[in-house]
Structure 1
Amino acid sequence: MSYLPAVTDVVIVGAGPTGLTLAASLVAGGADVVLLDKAPEGANTSRAAVVHARTLEVLEGLDVSGELVKRGVIVPTFTVRDRDRILLTVGFEDLPTAHPYTLMIPQSVTEEVLAGRLRELGSQVYRPYDVVGVAQDEAGVVVTTSAGDSVRCRYMVGADGMHSVVREQAGIGFTGDSYAQCFVLADVRLDWDLSAEEVQLFFSAAGLVVVAPLPGGRHRIVATVEPGSQGAVEHPDAGEVQALLDARGPRKTRVHVHEVVWSSRFRVHHRLADHYRAGRIFLAGDAAHVHSPAGGQGMNTGIQDATELASRILEGTEDGYESVRRPVAAGVVEMTDRMTRAATLGNPAARALRNTVLALAGHNAAVRRKLAMRLSELTVDR
């Protein structure tokens, strides 16, 4: 545990991708930052594994995009299937960006790269520090930790996730609800004859499953399960993941799960902070918005929150942060909610209609491009 300075410009709580990006961006701009995290060390699981084009663009300012691309898997195509039938193919190759693809990379690696850049800039993560008190006045904020340390700062930022202590201390509401279904994430090693250059979403009567390539020959599996149903265990094993793929994935393609490297089951919420600011306290990332993993938007939106807030603090234009970023998150919550509800339809007639609409959309180049722009977050104003 490193001793905390008594005074700094900005205290950031939460050293996930959002907090690390914010800290590095502020330090690179000349600000003094204290980044706190309650965990003794960084996470080593993959969790969020998608980095979109817009995020790689904004991270170019930190000189980390190249390293992320080097360590990830470039995936230029997203397909939607009903078992073996392709309904829709969305290609990213022609997007107006230097990164016309989806990058698949474990969140642990993304954090490692960002933390390394923060160290290169001369700063660090202070661990383990729990924030237990926040008091602000017109001039700044005093942050108190469970260790008894206090730090005074000009601004404080909560990047401490869905159960944000900073958001609660600031008295900011978190409006929304949770989905009935649970989501399963699993990183596996498998035999798989379909393309390694696609993220593939499969519909079926039993539910959805997503299969995407990861570095090192692994694949990420995402599936919905009903609470209490088969496959709804805390950490699904190879047999349970195999059963999900057998029931929902392709029928005509050999699929065999050899090993589960990591897995988790969790409930998903769709919530949005009522405000992104209370006095000198700001929110970013999951502390400000949470939503379905559909489309891999969550971490990307948080990283973009961070770069926007950092530039505004450095420029003295922080008053405009909420008006710029909250509508973006509201749009993401709405889009991912629609995607999740469409993907989890139970009525056979509704599923058939959904498939017909998607198949028709798949023949329209303008629709495919619009979807590619939206998924890659290139529609966000720059």
Structure 2
Amino acid sequence: MNEPLPARTEIAIVGGGPTGLALAVTLASAGVDFVVLDRLAEGANTSRAAVVHARTLEVLDELGASEELVARGLQVTRFAVRDGSRRLLTVPFEALPTPHPYTLMVPQYETESVLLARLRALGGDVHRPYEVTSVVQGEDGVTLTMSTGETLRAAYAVGADGMHSVVREAAGIGFTGDSYAESFVLADVVMDWLPGPAEVSLTFGTTGLTVVAPLPAGHYRVVATVDEAPTAPDLAFVQHLLDERAPGRARVTGLVWSSRFRVHHRVAERYRSGRLFLAGDAAHVHSPAGGQGMNTGIQDAHALGRAFVTGQLDGYEARRRPVAQRVVAFTHRMTRVATTRNPVARGARNLVLPLLGLTRMPNKLATELAELNYR
């Protein structure tokens, strides 16, 4: 069990996921006092996000957490875009101008584990389980009240507490955007997959988008849009889905974990209200196309942490909110192009993408996905 909750701290971080942990490591590295609060008794062991892009690995280099994470992951150097079995475009990562010219495929719980170990090595930890039910700011600080009735006083509070952020609600910050009509299936499986583990496959089809990505230990991540997914997709459902969208290419032999979810594309109207700040999913949510969600959150956290260290808090929103707007717009275009059911639009897409492969566009797409434009 963690140590008792202190009465005061400089920065209260609400949420102990990748964003909150990355912020805590940034602050701990600089000797800034903080408290991380998380409502769960222990970290989630489901994989959820599974992609760590190059820019995030550069940030983790600075935090002393990249080497261990890379050792736990699988390096993939290309994304393949297909319509059925026909390859339309290859997006290469090996030429990226970075020490990490690849996409690292690794379950989110491993990313959290590495960040938590780094935090503990620096003398910090996550206080669990503490559910924050009230956040009230005044001229001289913020009071956070737990479901237990305990309180914590802080000079500042950061909402790294996800889409339904208590901190964002307390700050009165709008979360504008919309949701996609389709539901998304997410499953980690053991299977024989014809393209193999060397690439991430994004497959278009008349019934929806399907992404298959390799993970360590011979597992694969399957993400697919469907009109209405079951609550807990089983092995038979995933096999049928792949038979329909990638016939003859997949034989599923085991189901590790599965879920369904609805996807929104939203950006907070502001990232700061007085002494309250937002980062990660509390500030932006978007389509999983491209796997950029957790990456953008970790980069938010590092930027905000450095802003606290340097005292340049006014620059945080100006630096990071345009990045979220760009990521949301980019992933929304990707999703709409991938999921269109208009036969004319599909035909045009399938004609244009191979032609783009003859230009510098694949390298530009790789740079955008890797978020190297956001340094």
TM-score bracket, shorter-length normalisation: over 0.9
Distance apart, 1:136 and its partner CA: 1.4
1:291 aligns with 2:292: no
Indicate the SS of the match to 2:372.
Answer: coil
Q: Deviations over 1:212-254 (max 9, x none)?
A: 1000000000100002xxxx111111111011111112x4x54
| Distance (Å, rounded) in 1 between the aligned partners of 2:13 and 2:266 | 21
The residue type equivalent to 1:201 in the other structure is L
22-31 or 253-262: bigger deviation = 253-262
Identity %: 62
The residue type equivalent to 1:10 in the other structure is I
The residue type equivalent to 1:41 in the other structure is E
| Distance (Å, rounded) in 1 between the aligned partners of 2:135 and 2:91 | 46
Tell me the equivalent position of 2:71.
70
Tell me the equivalent position of 2:316.
321
Tell me the equivalent position of 1:91.
92
Indicate the SS of the match to 2:363.
Answer: helix
Tell me the equivalent position of 2:178.
177
Q: Deviations over 1:302-336 (max 9, x none)?
A: 00000000000010001110000000000011011
| Distance (Å, rounded) in 2 between the aligned partners of 1:23 and 1:303 | 11
Distance apart, 1:195 and its partner CA: 3.1
Tell me the equivalent position of 1:241.
238
| Distance (Å, rounded) in 1 between the aligned partners of 2:331 and 2:193 | 28
Distance apart, 1:187 and its partner CA: 0.3
Tell me the equivalent position of 2:272.
277
Aligned residues: CA RMSD: 0.9
1:138 aligns with 2:139: yes
| Distance (Å, rounded) in 2 between the aligned partners of 1:173 and 1:255 | 43
Q: Where does structure 2 lack aligned partners over 5 or more consecutive residues?
A: none
Tell me the equivalent position of 2:296.
301
Distance apart, 1:206 and its partner CA: 1.8
Distance apart, 1:133 and its partner CA: 1.7
| Distance (Å, rounded) in 2 between the aligned partners of 1:254 and 1:50 | 23
| Distance (Å, rounded) in 1 between the aligned partners of 2:89 and 2:204 | 12
Indicate the SS of the match to 1:313.
Answer: helix
Tell me the equivalent position of 1:8.
9
285-294 or 343-352: bigger deviation = 343-352
Indicate the SS of the match to 2:281.
Answer: helix
Indicate the SS of the match to 2:327.
Answer: helix
Indicate the SS of the match to 2:373.
Answer: coil
The residue type equivalent to 2:33 in the other structure is D
1:375 aligns with 2:369: yes
The residue type equivalent to 1:42 in the other structure is G
| Distance (Å, rounded) in 1 between the aligned partners of 2:112 and 2:242 | 30
Distance apart, 1:138 and its partner CA: 2.3
Indicate the SS of the match to 2:328.
Answer: helix
Indicate the SS of the match to 2:309.
Answer: helix
| Distance (Å, rounded) in 2 between the aligned partners of 1:31 and 1:292 | 34
Q: What TM-score do you get using the length of structure 1 for normalisation?
A: 0.96
Tell me the equivalent position of 1:311.
306
The residue type equivalent to 2:261 in the other structure is F
Tell me the equivalent position of 1:331.
326
Moved over 2 A (4+): none
Q: Is the 8 A contact 2:207 2:226 kept in 1?
A: no
Tell me the equivalent position of 1:149.
150
